[in-house]
Structure 1
Amino acid sequence: MQRSKILSAAKAARQIENGVLKMRKSLLALTIAILLLILCLTAYYAWISPNQNEGTIAVTDALGRTVKIKTPINRVIITGKSAWPIITVAYMFPNAKNVLYGLSPSINVPLFQRIDPNITSKTVSTELSVEEIAKAKPDVVILKSTMKELGDQLEGLGISVVYVDFENLESYLRDMKVLGKIFMNETRGEELAKYYNDTYNFIISKTKTLADAERKKVLFLYYSTKGIVSFNVPGSDWLQTFMIKAARGYPLSEELSGTGWNTVNFEQIASWNPDIIFLVTYSNSPTSSNVKMQLLENATWSSISAIQNKTVYAVPDDCGVGALGSWDCPGSRWILGLQWMAKKIHPELF
């Protein structure tokens, strides 16, 4: 009798335990079903309401304007005169390859093809018109600050426009941070700005104690075959002059004002009598190396110190001069050019 009661109690306990297990399984299945329903509803409402996550960011551009841009930013156009240096900087941001459109065909070179395998489909045969830009429906258009006439027309159509310069160190530090916001990677913008600033400060730390008497006379020379063959030098406010000064050379053409090229004759060059000549052609025919050899072999130039000492240097243009220019241009590689120039001017320091 006692044994029968014990067996009955054990059976009842097992039934209760099985019931609890079944209840737990049911509750788990119900919980999973509810979670799946929530996920489905979330995805559905996100699909039917794509603007629910939209917002705005604000940037201060090169003209000191506060520009508000709607987010997410999915289409960015960089166009207008001197757009290519801006594009070379833009591609230092990983997200650029996902959002850039309407690019100059000159940028479609092996280097950028490696960065952006789809770049060919993003290039256009000619510079975009206002109507073509509007038709592309960009979230923002980035222009050089000198392109305000085009920018005004675009803003008149309700298109956000941001102006940049990328002409000297100060504008690089500012404009890289602006691109950091546009390409949704402010950390990258800060890192790039720090690299350029730190590199510049390193050069300055090495050269700042040099006396004026130790500064070599440096001539930056652009040999142009456009139209009439001519020699041209940069004005006082241009990047090439800034680079020579930072490397603690004496830029001979600094006495010429402005940010454009100034044509000079041989008599002026001979009067300056540079210790060092940096040469560019921005062309593959002739290259700067070709012109360098011509000058070294030209008897007319033999009285110039740089020719006598063979301190004539072709500025590197190793990645497609049509797309990137040489290392003196305001594209992303000028910081390499600064280091290269400093070593050529003061090899004992670098």
Structure 2
Amino acid sequence: MHEWAGTNWGRLLAGMGLLWAIGWGAAQAAPVSVAQASAVEAGTGREGRIVVTDVLGRQVEIKLPVRRIILEEARQAYAVAMLEDAHPFGRIVGWGGDLEQADPATYAQYLKVFPEIREIPVLGRLADASFNLERAVALRPDVLFLNMETARIADDARYLETLDSLGIPVVYVDFRHHPERNTEPSLRLFGDILGQRARTEDFIAFRARERARVTERLAQADVPQPRVFIERMGGFAEECCYSFGDENMGHYVEMAGGHNLAAEVLPGTFGQLSPEQVLAMSPDVVLVTSADWSAFRPDGDWIPVGPGADAVRARQALARYLDKSAYSGSPAVAQRRFYAIWHQFYNSPYDFVAVQQLAKWLHPALFEDMDVDETFRTLHARFLPVPYAPGYFAALEGEHDHAR
């Protein structure tokens, strides 16, 4: 039974009725265009409304200025922190617990500079039915941001209907399922709602230029495509072999001049293959997306890549993958072409950094002069409120036998 069934649901509705009675949903000023509203900053006292279209095509009307937001997935802060450089958490009044659990190194980075994030209420997640809607409503958000994949759960539980009755707008964003299509629209949603459109456009232009450094060079080169198998979330689960289809990291491999083997059999963004299927593919390259997942599997075979990761530990963890039965006898094992990459590139606007590093691994001669650390360092210096800390990548093969 859903957690909001029975008495909890009745108590929630009663509380919501009280909130409505005291004027939560009272009518406000007439809407203005996104272009006009983009100049409105929180705290200016200027009031109005904008209408935005989220990644599901829903038109959502939002009162300005927006001072209080909830991130149902805390990792949406990867985007918010980039747009709200000086006070990246100033408007976040609630979020999920996933940043601290799934990306503890990044959480620790931000905690060191912004210790107040420890006090942000953790509301749970829709995906595992732990989201505390009653508490979220009590925080009086101006906007609730949800990930696209939660839409069916939210609809089934009638969350949107309830929140709409209280005048709490819900906006869907997506950096995970269809990032090629939805990353820029999602960034613009955050930018327009937070009054940071100019900064958003600066980042989008920066991202496009950095991606083009790879795609334009490859378009002019005649190089073979290494056959790549991506092991998704390595060490998170005991079973093999989770991977990416033709989207997300699978698409990044193709952008970087590789051939994503799993796309031959996986019809969507995510999926799972059997060890026997992978063995038959005999990949030239194995790419493992991983991170410090001690919160989920303390003894798992995860690879601790991420900000400030220990290079020796990361390489030692990656070396264990050489012995996996799924890769036995493959060219990847023979040539030690095993690489590990920070898993959260799959869920953030920083995807172009991953594309550059993949290109450098897959075509080292062609991209010998590309300094991926410098790209990521520049991103931090221009757009993020914490310093760059190397450690997002690890490799076993040849001259790339290092972690950064």
Scaled by the length of structure 2, what TM-score is found? 0.65
Closer/same/farther in 2, CA of residues 136 and 199 from structure 1, 3 Å limit: same
Cα offset for 1:204? 0.5
Residue in structure 2 matched with residue 347 of structure 1 by the alignment: 364
Partners of 2:349 and 2:243 lie apart in 1 by 22
- Runs of 4+ aligned structure 1 residues displaced above 6 Å come to none
Relative to structure 1, is the Cα distance of residues 139 and 249 closer, same or farther in structure 2, using a 3 angstrom cutoff?
Answer: same
Larger radius of gyration: 1
Which residue in the other structure is 2:141 paired with? 138
How far, CA to CA, are the matches of 1:327 and 1:349 in structure 2? 26
For structure 1, the 5+ residue unaligned runs are 1-49, 318-325
2:150 corresponding residue in structure 1:
147
Alignment of 1:25-104 (within 5 A): 53-79=46-72, 83-94=73-84, 95-104=87-96
- Higher relative helix content: 1
Range with bigger deviation, 274-283 or 224-233: 224-233
- Given that 1:219 and 1:278 are in contact with CA atoms closer than 8 Å, whether structure 2 keeps it comes out as yes
The residue aligned with 1:334 is: 351
- The structure 1 residue matched to 2:271, chosen from 242, 261, 282, is 261
Within 1, Cα distance between the matches of 2:45 and 2:225?
A: 61
Do the aligned partners of residues 65 and 223 (structure 1) sit closer, same or farther apart at CA in structure 2, a change above 3 Å counting? closer
How many angstroms apart in 1 are the aligned matches of 2:68 and 2:233? Answer: 39
Aligned residues: 286
| 1:53 Cα deviation from its structure 2 partner | 3.4
Residue in structure 1 matched with residue 99 of structure 2 by the alignment: 107
Identify the residue that residue 374 of structure 2 maps to in structure 1. Answer: none
- Distance, in Å, in 1 between the alignment partners of 2:55 and 2:250 is 21
- Looking at structure 1, the residues matched to 278 and 60 of structure 2 have their Cα atoms a distance apart, in angstroms, of 46
Which residue is equivalent to 1:201? Answer: 212
Which residue of 2 is the match for residue 30 of structure 1?
A: none
Q: What's the counterpart of residue 314 of structure 1?
A: 340
* Native 8 Å contact 2:244 2:269 kept in 1: yes
Q: 1:223, 1:344 → 2: CA distance?
A: 19
Q: Structure 1 CA distance, aligned partners of 2:163 and 2:234? A: 35
- How far residue 297 of structure 1 moved from its aligned partner, in angstroms, is 4.8
Instruction: Give the 3-state SS of the residue equivalent to 1:118 in structure 2.
Output: helix
Whole-angstrom CA distance in 1 between matches of 2:71 and 2:45: 28
Instruction: Go from structure 1 to structure 2 and tell me whether the alpha carbon gap of 1:114 and 1:313 turns closer, same or farther (over 3 Å shift).
Output: same
Identify the match of residue 286 of structure 1 among 295, 301, 308. 301
The 8 Å contact of residues 223 and 229 in structure 1, kept in 2 or not, is answered as no
Counterpart CA distance in 2 for 1:298 and 1:254 is 21
Measure the CA separation in 2 of the matches of 1:161 and 1:298: 44
Question: Which of 226, 234, 242 matches 2:244?
Answer: 234
Aligned 8 A contact 2:283 2:327 in 1: no
- Bigger Cα displacement from structure 2, 285-294 vs 172-181: 285-294
Name stretches of at least 5 consecutive residues in structure 2 with no aligned partner.
1-42, 101-106, 126-130, 295-299, 304-313, 368-404
Tell me the alpha carbon deviations over residues 51-105 of structure 1, each in whole angstroms, 9 at most, x when there is no partner: 98321122221122222211121100011xxx23322111112254210121233
Residue from 162, 187, 190 that aligns with 1:179: 190
User: Among the aligned pairs, what percent are the same residue?
Assistant: 22
Task: Output the CA distance in 2 between the equivalents of 1:88 and 1:57.
Answer: 24
C-alpha distance in 2 between matches for 1:327 and 1:105: 15
Aligned to 2:27: none
**Alpha-carbon shift at residue 117 of structure 1 (Å):** 3.0
1:295 Cα offset (Å)? 3.1
Cα 1:222/1:214, change in 2 over 3 Å: same
The 1:157/1:347 distance shift into structure 2, 3 A limit, reads same
Are 2:256 and 1:247 aligned?
yes
Bigger Cα displacement from structure 2, 295-304 vs 62-71? 295-304
